[in-house]
Structure 1
Amino acid sequence: MIGGGKSYVSAPPAFSTDAKRILVCTGSVVSVFSTSTGLQILSLEAHAALVTAVIVVPGNKALSFCWTASLDGTVRYWDYAAAELMKTIDIKMPIYSMVIPALLLGKPDSKVMPADAFAYLSVENTQMQENAAGKALRGQIRKCNLTESRLAGVVLAETRIPEVISISPSGKFFGIQNKRKLHIWKTPAKDSKLPVLKITLHHTRNFTLLAFHPTKRLVAAGDTSGRILIWRGFGNCTFSDGDKLVNRGSMNDEPDRPGIRGDDDADSCTTWHWHPTGINLLRFSSDGAYLYSGGKEGVLVDWQLDTGKKKFLPRIGSPLIYLTDSLDPSLSAISCADNQIHLLKMPSMEITKSISGIKLPFSSPEVHEGMCRKFSFDDSAGLVALRTENYRIQFYSLFDDREISEVQVCERNHQPGDEVSVILTLVSLSGDGSMMSTVEVNLPEDGIGGLVCLKFWASESQNKKFNLSTIVYEPHRDAGISALAFHPTRQMVVSSSYGGDFKIWISSDEIQQRKDALQHSGWMCHAVGSYKKRPMTAAAFSADGSVLAVAAETVITLWDPDKNMLVAVLGEMHMPVVTLSFAGDHLLSISRGSKPQLSVWSMSKLSESWSYKLDIEDVTCAKDSSSFAVLALLPKSSNEPIFQGKDGLILVFNATVPVPLAMWSVRKAKGGGLAFLEGNSPSFQQQSMWDGKSPQALLAYINADHEYILFDPYDSDARELSLIRRKECIAIDETAQFGYASIYGELPQFEMNKDQNLLTPYAPSQRPWETIFSGSSHNLLPLPKLCLEFMESLLERRTTTVE
């Protein structure tokens, strides 16, 4: 089993002491990457929930120790070079943030833990009950004795939710932002019996984060309006006793003060304003001469502290989250909201290397949500193509868990947070992955304008660097495109339209194979088809490409793609068909709406074999077989204990049998996807985790957060709980947004007669002559066949009479 798709930016990373490695929190694992190559070297696996902090112990460059904290309530001590766990401290409360003052860590020269090591933790008190006003102070700031493995002292602060702790590079001060206040503590000496002293700074807007100067008594904070406030000489008068403040009441009970100057304990307060929205990133340079800031606009601003002058790192294209320094002053890292970590050469701020994770989900405007297809898979190479917010397509390797390439589909300036004006609605890949087709929609402004653009792309090599081949503006007049599908063996694409037609496109290479072909470059329209002017909502080619199925709302039409001839018409569904797919000699149709349905049609009998009343999110079919898998959404009213915390099912079928071969309950199914990956892929064969018995195919499941897992659905062990190792079945807390280990649950029993509303199988009649004249005229058989069926019906009746 292979898993991946974790977030690289859920917590700040940390550089090793020699700056040759960077430690990244990736779900419940800490992954170690090389700063020279950007590739993963090893991982630290022991936590059972999201890792929220990783802190490298300073000291000798030959040593490699770090502390980690997690929502599983534990703090762990590691030798990260050897991936060896050395100590575990159980706090028994989820840890959201952790800082360790450097002056309390010392500089270890051996594997012996330094004496009197302390950490300050931001934890959640899950036992706290809500008060009469419906509020509970669940967040706490606690002190932990790392040497003695216990919590020390009283609660330093209580907040509504756990807050992020910031600490000065010298370790003398640490603090949190709490609405319109900054609470700053002075770190005591190594004697833990001394009280922790605190001051409070105030503002008229809510703070977003704070940062401490490396050497001076100076603190900077950003607010929700984009302002940066700098207090110089804070706490020069006195620090108050933090314990007395806590005993007097919680921090939320402190009265708001009218301003930011006056009665705050600081010599002066300076305000800078450049960012149009809230500050996400704030950090001083290692020498203290500059202050770096960033926000949703994706620009890193470099402020000169003495003069206030600024310079900029050109727009990165994604909101900035963290800036991390290394002991090498020429190397820093910046974490972005699109799940990328960029390594920067300082002070020029040049990007030298990027560590790219899978892109996070792109939220389309509600009006176009039903038009957008989430994923497209290259089954042979084990790649998934994802639409991104900056008008690109990301190709991500599911086997290697890394980005392969990105394709800029639409050339335009994009600033994160801008109003969306262009949407990439569809992306489709050819069977061999060498061609791609995309659809983009320019949204109308004030009801005026709007443009649909169909593009064809070709790949030069296996690195998935696509070049634009052909652009077609308004391919279906002013109507939107509902589906794209490639021919399995030829350079042919079908596009269906809500405007009531479909078009077949062929490339110049396909045209030149004909003797009477004219010289042409790119792609051109080969044929146009329609059915009673109904909107065409889905399309698919059969496995051999001889049949084209196009859904005309609630009716399925079958065409000869070469002759553009209507062959047959199937069914009459209650709701429009949104997806068509071929599984061997069977056709699958998915309808959505108030009466969703999965139907399986026999192509030999041109009739419905069986169906389910299920809300299907995605479907995938295995090549050269009748197997297929669906991702079904569970009803919100489901009270089955086995489905608690899960919203979807993966069911594997053989199209000839209505009983599923296997079933798994999953989380975050809404917005997820499925795909069968071929077992003859080189990347697939290189995997060594199959113990010498490589499966013929893998089933890939990607959930709504773009976490994914690959497994063998045909393995007998895959139908039992033993497929998933015990630690991977632990249900991660809902606050943990990442970690593929939580998506699988137990295998429920599938009972055919348990819920007749859920399962409604349908079998074709064994006496076809009784129904040959029912339905649409397009369903009628040829005249010789009709005569034969009619004569058989007479003989049947006569035989019955004799008996």
Structure 2
Amino acid sequence: MIMEEDTRVLYYWGPLLQCKPLITSSSKYLLAALESAIRVFSTDTGNLIKTLKGHSNEIVGFAPVFDKEDEFFSCDEYGKICHWSLLKDVKESNLMKEYQLKSLNTKKDKAVVATFLVKGSAAEFIVGVGKDTGKLFRYTNPTHKPVVLEKCAKLGSNKVAISHHEDCVIFLTKQHLQVVSLSSSKRASHHTGVNEITCVMCHPSKMSIATGNCIGEVVLWYNLFKEPIKQSLHWHSLPVADMAFSNTGSELYTGGGECVLVNWQLTQNKHRFLPRLGMPIKYVITDMRNEKIICAHLDSAFTVISAKDYKLCGSIQGVSMSIDNMEPYPAGLTYDPRTKCVILNGRSGHVQFYDIHHNKLLYQLDVAMENYINPERNIKLYNSEVEKVAISPDGSWLATLVYRDDFQSSREIRLIFWHFDTVSQRWTLNTSVHMPHDNYVNEITFMPSSKSENTAMCVSCSDDGKFKIWEVLDNSDIYKQSSMWGCRSIGFYRHLPATSASVAPDGSLIAVGFASILTIWTYDSCHLKGTLSQPYLRDHIRQIEFGRTENCSSMIVSRSDNWLCGWNLFTCSLSWKVTISSTCMAVDPLSSYMVVFSTTRDAYIFEPKSNLVYTKLENINNKSTLCAAFVPRLEKSTSKLGWTDESQLFIIDEAQRLKLIEPKANLRAVEAVIEGVIQEFAQDTVGTTPFSTLVAQTRVTDVAVDKSRQLGSAAFGVNVQNSSALLQKVLDESRVYRLDTFTTLAKEFCKLVLPEATTSADVEEEEDINKRIKKEESEVVLQRKSVKKKKKQNLERGLNSDFSGLLSILSSDDS
């Protein structure tokens, strides 16, 4: 058995909204916290520039250093503060200094908020310790004992604000707004009323603040240390999630659950809107140069908006988070053989295609094709969600199940089949089946042995007690050739719910779990071949998997909530059983290994032919695993562990974090590849696109063309005609914000404009071929001339003949 210290977990992506993000002072970079790491994104291209690692605990806040460009502070939940500097060359980003706040009792409580006030070389930190409410401290020096500003303050990323104009801190208590001066002993308290304040923000140049409350009202407060003057701005119907002033303070931006960014022009008493931004807004961030506004959405997507023309100019997106489902990612992880990425739930009604090899989102497919239904203040509204996903072995067909149940009207179930159009390179809707089953569908899966897109078959099973086999039918007419999906056959057993299904690798058998009974059916005729059960196995079967290799082809593994069983098809009996409380199971398509995850957060690697554990990974995660998948490698592993040779194991946990479980030896190579890809984007990206790096800043024209070829080795110095004009045309006509990776673009671009390298052997071979072709062509020409001359001679001979020979023949025949 392999020891657990030989493996390690690598974070690929997760929620980026554990604290409010920050735009650096140069407006080039966006900072977002991913647990203890800091993700640095380019605000121009949306690419991940770098990941900063200096904390060992969860980060709870950022703050800029106002008098220095691209320098900032970060604070974690245990009071460690790091001073960072993003230099002109982002590759050299480094940790300037570390502080450890003194006298923080973080064993029972956590530092929820960290807001910083910087004055020249001295820094004053305002830190809140607690959960929803707690103590608010002021640190004039990190090593000195702090001053308690409030013992019962409301804490959160936007519940405490600093006024840099008057050096005062504003925070909330129960139904009161507190204003405390940091330079004097002045303090004021104002009653906020029954409407709870959800966020507070200070004006950048005046002694005034803005607050948003639970009914969607924005209130501007003036004359805070005396009797306050209030101005009400009301458009939102849902609670105001966050707000931000422009750098000049003349404009205020607010957002919330309506997915609309509202721009309040305070000097003109006007407002304008930017609707349909995606998912509900959680944070609104502005920069110091009045160039960009960034909205952070609940699904961890960032929308970049131009402050000048108030239009969408780009987005930053990793793995999209699930916000409406009770159980995140109900469709699990599915490997797409065409794009070499994984398919999982995206925003509501969508599935996302995520490239795990290059750590980027490819695109999202709108499956439900419905507008997002915004929640109401006191009523929960339900959107259509993608519950199941399956893809054919060749990647040409995609099956999705859309489900909606508002517990008031009839439920909606749609089984949708998508076909991949190789010409347009996009998924097109082929068939939508309304109510394919009468109850919730538990599983959809394709036949693994489909050799072409016209022979693909799919199996679905449901709580209505039936499983159905779907096949591609010809739907052609006189106008065009087309196909559609239809139900070929239906199976049921004792009116029990069909909880899971799987198809044998050769496509000959179907295994369907009816409650706790495992049934075997023929795929072609849909006849019941046998049943497998034991009286003490009462739990419903959740997953079924066939053995994938020859030595395990006769085995079936079934998983229930408390049992893991191996069944032998040759003997039609239970081969082995293991008592384990599990959450999910995955099978490697390229080897004989399977993995099961327990509720105690352990992982067990095994082969279906035996109940012996090949590898046990203990406590691999601090959260339970929701789904897992083996993804084939692009290159073979250098590890000698066996189970990681052909595929990589990816998981998603309850915290919606995508993780890779790998041996440490492999992780070093993976991290090196990821770092190499990231470093390609580590450059000055202001006002540029990836195409612009292909054009030199200084162009040289009228250069003599060298027509000679380099013999004996590859000729790299080839001449490219009109390449400058071609590049300039691309730059002029492209209106791009985010493109594919620069390495891919450069590789494909060079293939188009650069001729292949030529060697002496290639030249000699080409000359021999040309000589042979010329010789054959001359022989054909001579042969054609000879045939033509012969025909001409025969024709002249016939014209000059007196037909005497013909008359003699005819006379002989008559006699």
TM-score by length of 1: 0.72
Partners of 2:198 and 2:144 in 1: how far apart? 28
Task: Using the TM superposition, give the Cα deviation of residue 520 of structure 1 relative to its aligned residue in structure 2, in angstroms.
Answer: 4.9
Name the residue aligned to 1:179: 174
What do the CA deviations read for 1:370-394 (whole angstroms, capped 9, x no partner)? Answer: 9954443437856333324521112
| Counterpart residue type for residue 73 of structure 2 | W
Corresponding residue pairs, total: 627
Name the residue aligned to 2:757: none
**Could you say if the C-alpha distance between residues 17 and 293 of structure 1 is closer, same or farther in structure 2, counting changes exceeding 3 Å?**
closer
Preserved CA contact (<8 Å) 1:13 1:54: yes
Partners of 1:463 and 1:14 in 2: how far apart? 39
Name the residue aligned to 1:86: 96
What do the CA deviations read for 1:303-332 (whole angstroms, capped 9, x no partner)? Answer: 232464322111223221222222332212
Partners of 2:25 and 2:331 in 1: how far apart? 45
Partners of 1:427 and 1:617 in 2: how far apart? 18
Q: How does 1:283-362 map to 2 (within 5 A)?
A: 283-306=244-267, 308-362=269-323
Q: How does 1:189-208 map to 2 (within 5 A)?
A: 195=184, 197-205=186-194, 206-208=196-198
Q: How does 1:397-476 map to 2 (within 5 A)?
A: 397-417=355-375, 419-443=381-405, 446=408, 448-460=409-421, 465-476=426-437
Task: Using the TM superposition, give the Cα deviation of residue 484 of structure 1 relative to its aligned residue in structure 2, in angstroms.
Answer: 0.2
Partners of 1:363 and 1:196 in 2: how far apart? 47
| Counterpart residue type for residue 172 of structure 2 | Q
What do the CA deviations read for 1:546-604 (whole angstroms, capped 9, x no partner)? Answer: 22111222222212212333322222441222221112322111223xxx321111223
2:609 to 638, 652, 656: 656
| Counterpart residue type for residue 218 of structure 1 | S
Partners of 2:583 and 2:629 in 1: how far apart? 12
1:567 to 529, 532, 536: 529
Name the residue aligned to 1:252: none
**Could you say if the C-alpha distance between residues 184 and 704 of structure 1 is closer, same or farther in structure 2, counting changes exceeding 3 Å?**
same
User: Counterpart of 1:658 in 2: which secondary structure?
Assistant: coil
Task: Using the TM superposition, give the Cα deviation of residue 16 of structure 1 relative to its aligned residue in structure 2, in angstroms.
Answer: 2.8
Preserved CA contact (<8 Å) 1:99 1:119: yes
Partners of 1:339 and 1:424 in 2: how far apart? 19
**Could you say if the C-alpha distance between residues 224 and 462 of structure 1 is closer, same or farther in structure 2, counting changes exceeding 3 Å?**
farther
Name the residue aligned to 1:481: 441
Preserved CA contact (<8 Å) 1:142 1:151: no
**Could you say if the C-alpha distance between residues 416 and 432 of structure 1 is closer, same or farther in structure 2, counting changes exceeding 3 Å?**
farther
Q: Which moved more, 1:458-467 or 1:493-502?
A: 458-467
User: Counterpart of 1:150 in 2: which secondary structure?
Assistant: coil
What do the CA deviations read for 1:619-649 (whole angstroms, capped 9, x no partner)? Answer: 1111243311011213xxxxxxxxxxxxx22
Preserved CA contact (<8 Å) 1:653 1:659: yes
| Counterpart residue type for residue 99 of structure 1 | T
Task: Using the TM superposition, give the Cα deviation of residue 138 of structure 1 relative to its aligned residue in structure 2, in angstroms.
Answer: 4.0
User: Counterpart of 1:38 in 2: which secondary structure?
Assistant: coil
1:217 to 207, 230, 238: 207
Task: Using the TM superposition, give the Cα deviation of residue 277 of structure 1 relative to its aligned residue in structure 2, in angstroms.
Answer: 2.5
Name the residue aligned to 1:9: 17
1:591 to 546, 553, 560: 560
**Could you say if the C-alpha distance between residues 137 and 531 of structure 1 is closer, same or farther in structure 2, counting changes exceeding 3 Å?**
closer
Partners of 1:525 and 1:201 in 2: how far apart? 67
Name the residue aligned to 1:385: 343
User: Counterpart of 1:425 in 2: which secondary structure?
Assistant: strand
Preserved CA contact (<8 Å) 1:405 1:463: no
Partners of 2:262 and 2:70 in 1: how far apart? 33
Name the residue aligned to 1:25: 33
| Counterpart residue type for residue 204 of structure 1 | G
Name the residue aligned to 1:638: none
1:396 aligns with 2:354: yes
**Could you say if the C-alpha distance between residues 520 and 527 of structure 1 is closer, same or farther in structure 2, counting changes exceeding 3 Å?**
farther
Preserved CA contact (<8 Å) 2:349 2:366: yes
1:168 aligns with 2:158: no
What do the CA deviations read for 1:663-715 (whole angstroms, capped 9, x no partner)? Answer: 22244554611211212x3xx67x99999x984322112101121321336x8
Name the residue aligned to 1:376: 334
Task: Using the TM superposition, give the Cα deviation of residue 344 of structure 1 relative to its aligned residue in structure 2, in angstroms.
Answer: 0.9
What do the CA deviations read for 1:436-469 (whole angstroms, capped 9, x no partner)? Answer: 21112242663x4333211011234699842212
Partners of 2:161 and 2:117 in 1: how far apart? 10
Preserved CA contact (<8 Å) 2:644 2:662: no
**Could you say if the C-alpha distance between residues 525 and 519 of structure 1 is closer, same or farther in structure 2, counting changes exceeding 3 Å?**
farther
Preserved CA contact (<8 Å) 2:16 2:32: yes
Partners of 1:382 and 1:709 in 2: how far apart? 17
**Could you say if the C-alpha distance between residues 579 and 463 of structure 1 is closer, same or farther in structure 2, counting changes exceeding 3 Å?**
farther
Name the residue aligned to 1:676: 630
Name the residue aligned to 2:152: 159
Preserved CA contact (<8 Å) 1:443 1:449: yes
Preserved CA contact (<8 Å) 1:97 1:122: yes
**Could you say if the C-alpha distance between residues 706 and 101 of structure 1 is closer, same or farther in structure 2, counting changes exceeding 3 Å?**
same
What is the root-mean-square deviation in Å for CA atoms of aligned residues? Answer: 3.3
TM-score by length of 2: 0.71
Preserved CA contact (<8 Å) 1:588 1:600: yes
Name the residue aligned to 1:537: 499
Name the residue aligned to 1:704: 654
What do the CA deviations read for 1:375-430 (whole angstroms, capped 9, x no partner)? Answer: 43437856333324521112223333332211111122223325105332222223
2:472 to 492, 507, 516: 507
1:97 aligns with 2:47: no
Structure showing greater Rg? 2
The gaps in structure 2 that reach 5 residues or longer are 1-8, 105-109, 451-455, 672-815
Preserved CA contact (<8 Å) 2:135 2:149: no
User: Counterpart of 1:712 in 2: which secondary structure?
Assistant: strand
Partners of 1:484 and 1:615 in 2: how far apart? 24
Partners of 1:54 and 1:462 in 2: how far apart? 47
Name the residue aligned to 2:135: 139
2:569 to 589, 603, 608: 603
What do the CA deviations read for 1:338-387 (whole angstroms, capped 9, x no partner)? Answer: 1011111114332212111222234446xxx7995444343785633332
Partners of 1:182 and 1:462 in 2: how far apart? 61
Partners of 1:537 and 1:24 in 2: how far apart? 41
User: Counterpart of 2:483 in 1: which secondary structure?
Assistant: coil
**Could you say if the C-alpha distance between residues 506 and 384 of structure 1 is closer, same or farther in structure 2, counting changes exceeding 3 Å?**
same
Preserved CA contact (<8 Å) 2:449 2:505: no
Preserved CA contact (<8 Å) 2:244 2:286: no
Preserved CA contact (<8 Å) 1:8 1:341: no
What do the CA deviations read for 1:141-181 (whole angstroms, capped 9, x no partner)? Answer: 22242xxx423652122226644421235463331122312
Task: Using the TM superposition, give the Cα deviation of residue 519 of structure 1 relative to its aligned residue in structure 2, in angstroms.
Answer: 6.4
Task: Using the TM superposition, give the Cα deviation of residue 654 of structure 1 relative to its aligned residue in structure 2, in angstroms.
Answer: 1.6
Partners of 1:662 and 1:9 in 2: how far apart? 35
| Counterpart residue type for residue 627 of structure 1 | Y
Identity of aligned residues (%): 23
Task: Using the TM superposition, give the Cα deviation of residue 542 of structure 1 relative to its aligned residue in structure 2, in angstroms.
Answer: 1.6
Partners of 2:390 and 2:276 in 1: how far apart? 29
Name the residue aligned to 1:68: 74
Task: Using the TM superposition, give the Cα deviation of residue 660 of structure 1 relative to its aligned residue in structure 2, in angstroms.
Answer: 1.5
Partners of 1:371 and 1:346 in 2: how far apart? 35
**Could you say if the C-alpha distance between residues 669 and 527 of structure 1 is closer, same or farther in structure 2, counting changes exceeding 3 Å?**
farther
From the two aligned structures, give the one with the greater helix fraction. Answer: 2
**Could you say if the C-alpha distance between residues 121 and 364 of structure 1 is closer, same or farther in structure 2, counting changes exceeding 3 Å?**
closer
**Could you say if the C-alpha distance between residues 445 and 74 of structure 1 is closer, same or farther in structure 2, counting changes exceeding 3 Å?**
closer
